[in-house]
Amino acid sequence: MKEDFSIGKVTAKHGEKSSGFLPVVNSDTEIPITLINGEKDGRTILICGGVHNAEYVGIQAATELASELDPKDVNGNIVIIHLANRSGFEHRTMSLVFEDGKNLNRVFPGTAMGTAADKIAFTMETEVFSKIDYYIDLHSGDGFEGLESFVYCLGNANDYVVKKSREMAEIAHVDYLVVSMNPAGGAYNYAGTLGIPSILLERGSNSTWCRALVDEDKHDVTNILRFLGFLDGEAHRHGNGPIEVSPVTYEDAPTAGCWYPEKQPGETFREGDLLGTIRDYFGKELYSCRAKHDGIILYETISLCIMENSPMVAYGIWDADKNGTIEKACPVCGDGEHHHHDHF
């Protein structure tokens, strides 16, 4: 007889599903979770939404998967964290935990004696990471971010973790893949250091969500569940899989001001091309951001406001001679020509 599966105070019996709250250590905060204890034996996987609390596509996808996955179809155990940063969600603080203003994705492994974000990370590691074999982290673009859908996999871990993470990522129905070499770059990267194959799926932007994007997330997750054996059936592979655009250059704003991007997420460019400018309130140029190499925009700030040392633009390697060039129409005016996007 398959054993009960428990995390915190939530227990799912063999062949059953159970939802409830995981208390955060030394805190009044509780994280909504669902446990699915499958009919058959198998491994354990975590599906997590809301590490960044205003990235709504992943949160809604996690919530719907928790409702729709049936224990009788599941081999092993599935842990679903609907919303890791609950206080940030309830106070609309974008990427930050409400109580301490920290980015939860940058504090792992956390500590039981730290501030709110540290305690959430510590709880996730001790209560969840300690029990899982795989991890799918669901993200999207925050309220100030435009984003092209892509997937991260691990590059800085042991050979098994790197290989299995890459295989998971290649199942995703997105155009681009990034191999992350930064073990401090998020919960999924930290999980990789613990020997857990993990990926981070990016889909959607501007802190918005819609039925199509949520369904695409759910499609990818269930397809990866089939690939890993949590669900029966063959995983569907989409063509040749996503194109690798690693490594990624992350540009932070050297000064505060008004930001005017020149490119769109998914648009390609050549080394030296202007990616955007920062100006003061009188229109005087404070900084011009030029491409350090041929690349493709993965995500960028699209708000007029930009803060010093905050994310400005992230772009991957792109071989235009091999893959061609891509030009995206402006999502506001539809203009496909290169121009200052003053209407953002």
Report helix, strand or coil for 103. strand
Using 50, 70 and 90 to split pLDDT, how confident is the model at 328? confident
Per-residue pLDDT, 322: 85
Same-domain pairing of 270 and 221: no
Q: Of 8, 205, 258, 254, nearest to 124 (Cα)? A: 8
Alpha helices, H only, the chain:
56-68, 86-91, 116-123, 159-171, 187-193, 211-228, 320-323
Same-domain pairing of 162 and 82: yes
Per-residue pLDDT, 94: 87
The secondary structure of 161-179 as a DSSP string is: HHHHHHHHHHHS--SEEEE
Domain count along the chain: 2
> The pTM is what?
0.94
Which CATH number covers residue 291? 2.40.50.100
Position 205 pLDDT exceeds 80: yes
Handedness of CA 220, 221, 225, 230 (dihedral sign): negative
Using 50, 70 and 90 to split pLDDT, how confident is the model at 327? confident
User: What is the distance between the alpha carbons of residues 35 and 33, in angstroms, rounded to a whole number?
Assistant: 7
DSSP annotation of 242: P
Residue pair 143/55 in contact by the 8 Å Cβ criterion = no
Same-domain pairing of 265 and 210: no
The residue to which tokens 């994280």 are assigned: 31
Position 123 pLDDT exceeds 70: yes
Percent of the chain with pLDDT over 90: 88
Same-domain pairing of 69 and 131: yes
User: What is the distance between the alpha carbons of residues 328 and 263, in angstroms, rounded to a whole number?
Assistant: 8
Is residue 342 domain-resident? no
Position 256 pLDDT exceeds 80: yes
Position 332 pLDDT exceeds 90: no
Position 15 pLDDT exceeds 60: yes
Mean pLDDT along residues 84-95: 95
Using 50, 70 and 90 to split pLDDT, how confident is the model at 339? very low
Q: Which residue would you say has higher pLDDT here, 339 or 133?
A: 133
Is residue 338 domain-resident? no
Same-domain pairing of 53 and 80: yes
Q: Of 245, 222, 261, nearest to 317 (Cα)? A: 245
Give the pairing of strands 274-279 and 257-261. antiparallel
Same-domain pairing of 178 and 217: yes
Residue pair 216/203 in contact by the 8 Å Cβ criterion = yes
Position 12 pLDDT exceeds 60: yes
Which CATH number covers residue 132? 3.40.630.10
Residue 197 tokens, joined: 């194959």
Residue 112 tokens, joined: 């039981």
Per-residue pLDDT, 335: 55
Residue 114 tokens, joined: 């730290």
Per-residue pLDDT, 338: 40
The secondary structure of 16-32 as a DSSP string is: -EEEEEEEPTTSS-EEE
Mean predicted lDDT score pLDDT of the chain: 94
Mean pLDDT along residues 322-337: 70
Alpha helices, H only, 172-289:
187-193, 211-228
Position 16 pLDDT exceeds 90: yes
What is the domain range of residue 163? 5-228
pLDDT digits (tens, 9 = 90+) for 98-120: 999 999 999 999 999 999 999 99
pLDDT digits (tens, 9 = 90+) for 155-191: 999 999 999 999 999 999 999 999 999 877 799 999 9
Is residue 195 domain-resident? yes
Same-domain pairing of 318 and 289: yes
Residue pair 217/153 in contact by the 8 Å Cβ criterion = no
